[in-house]
Structure 1
Amino acid sequence: MTGSSGEVIGLVGGWLLWRLRPAAIAYVLAVQAVALALVVLVFVTSRSPLSNELLTFTMLAATAGTVIVITSVSINVRRQIRRNPWTLHIAYLAAGILTLPPNLLVLLLLGPTLHGVLDGRPELHRWLFTTAATTIATLSARFLIGWSEPHWSPVLFVLAGAVLLVVRAFLVAVGIRLRNPGAARADVLGEPIDVLLGIVAASLGGLLAVAVSIEPGSAPLAGPPLVLLDLASQLPQWRRSAQRDAKTGLANAAHWERLARNELHRAQARGQPVSLLLLDLDHFKRVNDEIGHLAGDTVLAAVAMMLRSSVRREDAVGRFGGEEFVVLLPGKDTDVACDAADRIRTSTAALSVPTRDTRGHHRELNDLTVSIGVATTSRFGYDLTDLLVAADAALLTAKSAGRNAVTLA
């Protein structure tokens, strides 16, 4: 019995839900509780499905399941990271909202669950939360057009699709904001192409509903368009992969340099100052060597999150590789830049990062410090290379002066 209890405690301790902020934990659990209550209510109150409804469900589920398996296998074979496959689910769920009774509609929600199993999602609480949000959004859209019997009209088609998209987006956005108040707007709301693909998917679902209501056997014809839709939904992920550092989510060196050069060009044309901060974590090699590289990755992610919350939305934050980060501050000159750098230095020293060592033992890293070099356009002009060289020289001075310091070039 003792061994079993230890395994359970270890599992719960490793479940990243409990590392979230208290408000985020409460929200995630509340969304899951509402979704579970709705599913129970559906099965308690729904009538038995008719034979034609069972046929429609079978065809929709078989088509969706086949597409899910094909796309997941394709992603795994190519060793790519799948972004949220929500766009694919919109299409067949929209069709189910318009054609199936609530109990069969709930069974159609096993599609996102199947994706979670095939893709091997590493964070169980995220998978459960997004599935719960999808459930609430789907049943909300069904309620709008008629719980027992859906009412068909062009206006209701549009409204049902809008509710499906907006309710889920809202639930997920609140969760992301509670988890990370400093998250970028694109991370919370998605990019414009995400919205466009969602509208396309909902429209495809409406057309699929019309087709299967006339002839249920026509559902497999939607397979190729669904595959193409899923491939299109991966485009933002591929683009972000080329721009973002995998360990921190910050702009990688190449993308940050493009952003910085564009910002410096605009600032020069307007005669506005720009400052650059070059940061290096002190004694970071010791973390990797003594605790492990996974612990080092956890520290990098924690520092990245701290950086995003310590600067303005318009500031460009990037990772230059290793334990080095860089921040561009448009419109800010010497005094403000040094204040920002010192705020980052203080916030780094205040970090407490929970992680595990190579033996699996829990460790709390709370002795992190950072050295920062500051360079400004008022002294070194608007050439990015000149600013980086100056900031690097100042960083070396901060290191040689004892670390955990800010030095102005």
Structure 2
Amino acid sequence: MDAIRPGSVLSTRALNRALLARQLLLRRSPLTPLQALEHLVGLQAQAPNPPYLGLWSRLERFRFDDLAEAVVERRAVRLTLMRGTVHLVSARDALALRPVVQQALVRQVDTAFARKVAGVDRAELIAEGRELLNGEPVVFSELGRLLQRRWPQHAASALANVLRAEVPLVHVPPRGVWGRGGRTTHTTVESWLGRPVDARPDPESMLRRYLAAFGPATVADLRTWSGVPGWGPVVERLRPELVGYRDPQGRELLDLPGAPLPDPETPAPVRLTAEFDNLTLSHADRSRVICEDHRKRQQTRNGIVPGALLVDGFVAGQWRLDTARRAATVTIDPYTGLSSADRSAAGAEAARLLAAVAPEGVAHEVRINSAE
């Protein structure tokens, strides 16, 4: 394929293949789990298990224990970052990314809770919260009750939520460790990692890394992914080192020189991506990976984003994993009819997943339902 010139219009299919390549979904990558976490700028992690399944879908020789060990050894941590959602990131990224999103997180929580904590001195709240978290990790609801002792006229949940926005709090294992349960307990980043977040935010680095993992992209896409407004000045500072394209609607797409732009006809394997996967959440215009009708079907009343079935690079259904003591089942619900080849490939991918997650001696079953 000839080199694509700056200013060219990139088709939806071209954007799809670029996204898949950068998301390590065109072919599984030899990266280690920690390297992949950093390349992907983290994985969304409201629930403990999706990051493991997200890396399984992307890496050649992924071992669930390798990621679990990184969490236990404090080389990877779960905390609130982009879009005000919990992400699993490397320890290094926890310290680097949080300062960039910090003010956006505070504004977000103030929208919901500012009136409920009116009259509370923020500096005193932060100091009290840090003092409470200097000892044993604390369950979030208990943190609110402890803060309420100091401010009894204010709601415990409001106090705890404001503190979580003002102070970076990490989720402490065993929560987030594959195969283990436990309540979500919190402590400060400083307590857990032994050092504070970076002193100066570096939005330029964050923009470059977003493009490396999700580009080419518009400024609106960057804003959607990060949850941070006001990227215009950062883009202008970096513009001399970026290249530009156009999407089918004529909008400017920013990119890094030399970043992957595969031929739009590059074959894309069937994949099962995890719940809450950033693949489908990180652009204002998500048509590069999911059509509008299918996007609506992925939206649930309880806010769960189901795992996606990718066929020819685009979301073509959803799936779930159910495990019990003696059986493990992957159920796939296509949104449209599948060809026999795609149905077979989806079944093979599901069987491969079951072999990875379910121990020997447990019955495996793959169910592929008919499209509604």
Q: Which TM-score tier does this pair reach, normalised by the shorter chain?
A: under 0.3
User: Could you say which structure has the higher strand fraction?
Assistant: 2
The structure carrying a bigger helix percent of its residues is 1
When normalised by structure 2's length, the TM-score is 0.26
Q: Is the radius of gyration larger for structure 1 or structure 2? A: 1
